[in-house]
Amino acid sequence: MKKKRMILLKWLLIPLSIAITIFSGPAGLKAEELKGTVSLSGAWALYPMAVKWAEEFRKLHPGVQIDVQAGGAGKGIVDTLAGMVDIGMVSRDIHPAEVDKGAWAVAVTKDGVVPTASGRNPFKNDLQKKGLSRDIFIKVWITGQAQTWNDVLGNGAGQAVHVFTRSDACGAAETWAAFLGQKQEDLLGVAVYGDPGLADAVIRDPLAVGFNNINYAFEASTKKPLEGIVVIPVDLNNNGRVDLEENFMSTRDEITAAIKRGAYPSPPARDLYFVTKGLPQKPAVREFIRWVLTKGQVFVPDTGYIPLEPEKLNQGLKKLG
């Protein structure tokens, strides 16, 4: 019985596997069909855009699978440099230490960070009429000299300012800190995890101030600020009120247009990058980045981002080779 069984296995299994091995292989694949996986990880800021790009790219190349996960710009860098993902989404400038470790970056779009306050803030109207200048933001987030709302608005109010920031290593906090001349670790305040987390904390506390990426401060469908949030206008010329050319915080389209024409400075507006470890080699990854820099830009304005200047896009394409 055993011998019969062995003979059966020998003459059945082995030739079968050999036959299948021979008949599968590269000959079965079509040469033009783009296949593979592209994995992205990183900034909350780029997440909605990356998801949109992934959707549209898949329509053209159904054989490519694209995975996107958020976790902060820092996570994107670490994951990319460790080889765990193909592309890191980074919402801040790349540090020299990261370039030394092999980071290769290309700018793909632009967005910005805006300061926020609660919709239940008792001084909401004052805030929106006067705006806050960079100096006041520094007093709130860096030096801690602004302890009460009187220090912030000069309206005699004794209530304390509740300052919030981000706990995870992220581009939004780094960019906001860069606007105030420092680094993320210098920002004061209770640190909350993630963009949505910070928005939530500000909504729930009437005396809170925080900051968010544009796409987390504004509702994607209505393009107005999130329910329960007011975006604090930035008094750029320090004259104590929000002039006509500084008044662009009421809808998402207004702020993106302002960033495009340079009315909102960079920082807190900034380029968003795709980072890979060295020049990208995988065909799917290269094609994806190339598409993002060319045809993908068409989807940028509707998703709430600012299209990059053509020179920067061409620079990126040249870098890609």
Alpha carbons 38 and 291: distance in angstroms, whole number: 13
The answer to whether the CB of 216 falls within 8 A of the CB of 47 is no
For residue 29, what are its two tokens?
């694949």
DSSP one-letter code for 141: I
Find the binder of other proteins among 56, 151, 205, 219 (CB under 8 A): 205
Of 38 and 234, CB closest to other proteins: 38
284 binds other proteins (CB under 8 A): no
What is 152-176 written as a DSSP string?
HH-S---PBPEEEEE-S--HHHHHH
185 binds other proteins (CB under 8 A): yes
Find the binder of other proteins among 106, 132, 201, 289 (CB under 8 A): 201
**Please, what is the minimum distance in Å from the beta carbon of residue 163 to other proteins?**
9
3-state secondary structure of 140: helix
Residues 86-115 that bind other proteins (CB under 8 A): 95, 97-98, 101
**Please, what is the minimum distance in Å from the beta carbon of residue 17 to other proteins?**
4
The answer to whether the CB of 135 falls within 8 A of the CB of 282 is no
CB neighbourhood size of 124 (10 A): 15
* Site mask for other proteins (CB under 8 A), range 286-315, x = bound: ------------------------------
21 binds other proteins (CB under 8 A): yes
Find the binder of other proteins among 54, 64, 78, 172 (CB under 8 A): 78
**Please, what is the minimum distance in Å from the beta carbon of residue 72 to other proteins?**
5
* Strand extents, DSSP E, 71-225: 87-90, 103-118, 162-166, 190-192, 208-213
Of 203 and 217, CB closest to other proteins: 203
The answer to whether the CB of 51 falls within 8 A of the CB of 303 is no
197 binds other proteins (CB under 8 A): yes
Find the binder of other proteins among 111, 168, 271, 287 (CB under 8 A): 168
Q: Is the dihedral of CA 237, 128, 111, 78 positive or negative?
A: positive
Residue type, 32: E
Find the binder of other proteins among 46, 54, 77, 140 (CB under 8 A): 77
* Strand extents, DSSP E, 132-254: 162-166, 190-192, 208-213, 229-231
56 binds other proteins (CB under 8 A): no
User: Site residues (CB under 8 A) for other proteins?
Assistant: 2, 5-6, 8-10, 13-14, 17-18, 20-21, 24-25, 28, 71-78, 81, 95, 97-98, 101, 160, 162, 164, 167-170, 183, 185-186, 189-193, 197, 200-201, 204-205, 208
